[in-house]
Amino acid sequence: MIPQLVTVRVDRPGRGPIRAWVPVLPVALLLSPLLIVAVVAAVIACVVFRIDVVRAFGVGWRLICALPGTRVDVHEGRSTLLVRIR
């Protein structure tokens, strides 16, 4: 299953946290013209570097389907960034 929601939280020192919930499907629909360009560029790159196009897109799809449940924490000084993919 592809990711449905990305949750982003930024904790800043001395201020309240910033939270954002980003639904993946509407964002993907809005960016679909860029997605078409990216797919064409990926196909050209696969041909140039002699990589099987079908296998490359299969691996990419498996990677996207494995994203739900991923959690990324970044701590820099006193600031924190938390990204969860559901």
The runs of H, that is alpha helices, within 6-67 are 24-30, 32-48, 53-65
Give 23-51 pLDDT, tens digit per residue: 999 999 999 999 999 999 999 999 999 99
Distance separating the N- and C-terminal Cα atoms of the chain: 10
What is the DSSP pairing of strand 79-85 with strand 71-76? antiparallel
pLDDT at 8: 96
Give 61-75 pLDDT, tens digit per residue: 999 999 999 999 999
Q: Is residue 26 part of a domain?
A: no
Q: Is residue 43 part of a domain?
A: yes
Q: Which residues pair with 56 in a beta bridge?
A: none
What domain count does the chain have? Answer: 1
Determine how many CB atoms are found less than 10 A away from the CB of residue 56. 15
Q: Is residue 27 part of a domain?
A: no
pTM of the model: 0.78
